[in-house]
A and B are shown apart, each in its own frame.
Chain A
Amino acid sequence: MESRIEQNRPAAGPGQATAQSKWRSQKFRDHLSGYLYVSPFLIVFALFTLFPVLWSMYISLFSWKLMGSKTFIGLQNYVWLFTDDPLFWKSVGNTFSMWLMGTIPQLFLALFIATLLNANLKGKRFFQVGVIVPNVTSLVAVAVVFISIFGANYGLMNYFTSEVLGFEKINWQASYWHAQIAVSVMVIWRWTGYNALIYLAALQSIPQELYEASTIDGASKFKQFLYITIPMIRPAIIFTIILSTIGGMQLFVEPLIFAGNTGGQANQVLTMVLYLYDTAFAKNSFGYASAIAWMLFVIIMLFSLFNLYLTRKINSTT
């Protein structure tokens, strides 16, 4: 009702009138309420995402030990990262090698399990639920169990390799590739079932007629898999590749619990995120850690672009 009074009031001057009517107009109010509706998200986003992002860019220009003062050092942190920090580049290499070792077998295994689950076997529902269990188990508990499995003297794995297969005992945690394999196995164990379920959903959406038709044409099971199944579930494959890439770049808890803050004595499983964590929360060098975070951003960005290019290419070669 207020607005009606406003409208009836004679205008004091042309400029003021337009300003006032604009302020009071229905259109403006619609806009305003629209913004207010989305503002809870925007405010939370600004506080907990946007601000930290910008703040980390700002403090990456400082030398800042948490219990002390900040000193402005310009781009020195980045110079150090590029020219004199072998650990950082090692962590980048480790992240990618463990991503490769963890993802590729995992996706093949997932596809294999999915085709098994898709077949008509007894107690299918049980197995379908079963494969997702690793994914919902507490990560810390998983890591602790795997530490025992990969123990040097009393580990299950070494019992198998030395007592059953007759090889020498392996110190899984200490040696470079073995530690990486152990962490990759943890990743595989955790994510295979999840991916298998995605594949399973995709498999079940393939029309049965395609298989029937090809059977009549005399295609073998293998040919069917290669020329019908794989092309039909290509979107699911791309989806899982993208997801595993995101997960692989963020690999953190498994190496942390398996080998500690520094990713083992020779940094054998030090990943990029673990290095960031160690720098920030164990060494308390927040400026340097922020610089690492921005380098991470750039690396993951580049890798994602490459990934996008690849998946587009796969998608278009139908």
Chain B
Amino acid sequence: MMRKLTLLAMAAILAFAMAACSSGNTGSNSSGNGGGNAADGKSGETVELTMWMFTGTGLEPFVEQYQKDHPNIKVKIQQQEYADHHNGLVTALEAGGAPDIALVEIGYMDRFKADESKFHNLADFGANDIMGDYLEWKKVQASSQDQNFIFGIPTDVGPMAMMYRTDLFEQAGLPTDPAQVAQEISTWDAFMEAAKKMKSATGKPMVDTSLSTYEVIKGQLTNHYFDSDGNLIAETNPGIKKAYDYAAALSMEGLSGKIAQWSPEWGAGMNNGDFAVQMAPAWMMGFMKANAPDSKGKWNVAPMPEGSGNWGGSFLTVPQESKHPAEAFALIKWLLAPEQQLALFKSNNNFPSTPSIYEDPAIQNYTDEFFSGAPVGKIYAEAAKKVVPVYYGPDYTIVNTPITNALTEVERNGGDPEAEWQKAMDQIKRDLRR
């Protein structure tokens, strides 16, 4: 009898263990009704939403606010560092365990867009009604080629401007007034000339690293590494090679500072004036203020040479696995509505993707003492309208990494640009064939 009991107990434990192994992420599959009454948050049972983001978006307080207004919605936010977040998301989408809402940055967007079956089509929940609020090029990035499938709603955009150190520009005999700077440094050739002046007069490099200049010039192209049919054009695209050659020339002339972005040295370099120019999207202003407090008032802002550019900007998506897509969409819709984006601009300097508020006095009259009182709101609004949509392609980062590695090798170790370029092209082909 005793033995029998033991056996039974063992079997029970086993069954429990197996069940625990297989269940994984059932978490909250309560109200599957998903329809209207739950979405507007007045009635219905509590819905728990999981939300994955990378750090630094500034969205958390708004999610808090939404939960206060909608007591039946509970949001669990999980934040990770940028690359970890996206790599984890890829794995979760494939293997299970994806959240109800996932933030996707533009560099990864095309990789996720390659598989429609992993996401809810937000058009089914009425996304078409609000897409008109957003910038045309963001709409293109957020949807499938034929525009029928809407993957996500745009968060902020990263229009770019040129931040320059007025103290260093003055020492180098360059103009310091934004209008004059814009006029004198209107092309990349002129930028190179100015960089040479900077080097000979002050001994300081013009930019942090040649890499950032490459990214900026590349960002002004309409085609990058893949054409819209998905063919690899990195090697044949003349714009890419031109950007590469320009960046390599910068570093070979000693005009770049060998300071990697996001390294501790970078913030210190901004603070101490180790380089004269920082090409910065709107969201980077917060970073500069936090990491280079001593340089307050020494920066001013001018448009970048040869037009605008965009760095970053993300989308909030609803993975297919979500059991509450309607509630998730309702939250996204509110979170990214023009009013909230304007508030987020004020709190976190994230630049809105909704042009209707660009004329709002809060943006038009927005100046910043850190940047010598420059009208940054106006400058970025102008820049945002000039951005052209680019097709990145699902394997964008795979192609970009060897090229940026090549440029770093040229800059840091004096590698031969042509040899490094060839090596990068070979590596790209190896990485893509697998």
Mark A residues whose CB is within 8 Å of B.
1, 29, 32-33, 36-37, 39-40, 43-44, 47, 63, 65-68, 77, 80, 84-85, 87, 147-148, 151-155, 171, 173-176, 261-262, 265-267, 279, 281-285, 287-288
Contact = CB atoms under 8 A, between A and B. Distances in A.
A262 B3 contact: no
B408 interface: yes
Contacts of A285: 431, 434
Interface in B39-66: none
Contact of B118 (A67, A148, A176): A67
B427 A87 contact: yes
A67 B408 contact: no
Given A153-B274, A284-B90, A40 B264 contact: no
Contacts of B114: 67-68
A171 B412 contact: yes
A65 B91 CA distance: 11
Contacts of A43: 14, 17-18
B397 A282 contact: yes
A181 to B, nearest CB: 15
B264 to A, nearest CB: 5
B115 A265 contact: no
B115 A261 contact: no
Nearest to B264: A148
Given A63-B434, A261-B83, A44 B17 contact: yes
A256 to B, nearest CB: 10
A271 B412 CA distance: 21
B94 A174 contact: no
A97 B272 CA distance: 37
Nearest to A176: B413
Given A67-B115, A87-B430, A261-B401, 19 more contacts: A33-B6, A36-B7, A39-B10, A40-B17, A66-B90, A67-B90, A67-B394, A151-B264, A153-B268, A154-B265, A154-B268, A174-B409, A174-B412, A265-B404, A267-B405, A281-B90, A282-B397, A283-B431, A283-B434
B405 A36 contact: no
B430 A80 contact: yes
B401 A262 contact: yes
Contact of A67 (B111, B405, B413, B431): B111
A182 to B, nearest CB: 14
Main SS class of interface, B? helix
Contacts of A65: 434
Contacts of A155: 265
Contacts of A77: 434
- The number of chain B residues touching the other chain, given as a range, is 35 or more
Contact of B94 (A67, A85, A261): A67
Interface in B78-105: 83, 87, 90-91, 93-94
Contacts of A148: 264
B398 interface: yes
B7 A175 contact: no
A152 B260 CA distance: 10
29 contacts: A33-B6, A36-B7, A36-B11, A39-B14, A40-B14, A40-B17, A44-B17, A47-B21, A66-B90, A66-B94, A67-B112, A67-B114, A67-B115, A68-B115, A84-B430, A87-B427, A87-B430, A152-B265, A171-B258, A171-B412, A173-B260, A174-B409, A265-B404, A265-B406, A265-B408, A266-B409, A282-B83, A282-B397, A285-B431
Nearest to B268: A154
A32 B3 CA distance: 11
B412 A153 contact: no
Contacts of B259: 152-153
Contacts of B401: 261-262, 282
B130 interface: no
Most buried by B among A37, A65, A84, A262: A65
B10 A36 contact: yes
A153 B269 contact: yes
B231 interface: no
Nearest to A284: B90
Contact of B87 (A47, A84, A282): A282
Contacts of B91: 66, 281
B26 interface: no
B201 interface: no
B257 to A, nearest CB: 9
Contacts of B398: 283
B179 interface: no
Interface string B1-23: 10100110011011001100100
B263 interface: yes
A18 B115 CA distance: 59
A120 B3 CA distance: 59
B412 A36 contact: no
A266 B405 contact: yes
B14 to A, nearest CB: 6
Interface in B379-403: 394, 397-398, 401
Contacts of B112: 67
A268 B300 CA distance: 38
B324 to A, nearest CB: 23
A298 to B, nearest CB: 19
Given A40-B13, A80-B430, A153 B6 contact: no
Nearest to B113: A67
B90 A174 contact: no
Contacts of A29: 3
Contacts of B14: 36, 39-40, 43
Contacts of B268: 153-154
A85 B434 CA distance: 12
B87 A174 contact: no
B395 to A, nearest CB: 8
A77 B91 CA distance: 21
B7 A174 contact: no
A308 to B, nearest CB: 34
Contact of A151 (B1, B263, B397): B263
A315 B67 CA distance: 67
- Nearest first, the 10 closest Cβ-Cβ pairs linking A and B are A174-B412, A265-B408, A285-B434, A265-B405, A288-B434, A36-B10, A281-B87, A67-B115, A66-B94, A265-B409
A287 B409 contact: no
Contacts of B407: 265
A282 B86 CA distance: 9
Tell which of A85, A267, A284, A287 has the most Cβ of chain B within 10 Å: A284
A80 to B, nearest CB: 7
B236 to A, nearest CB: 22
Contacts of B93: 67
A26 to B, nearest CB: 10
Interface in B99-130: 111-112, 114-115, 118
Given A43-B14, A152-B259, A266 B274 contact: no
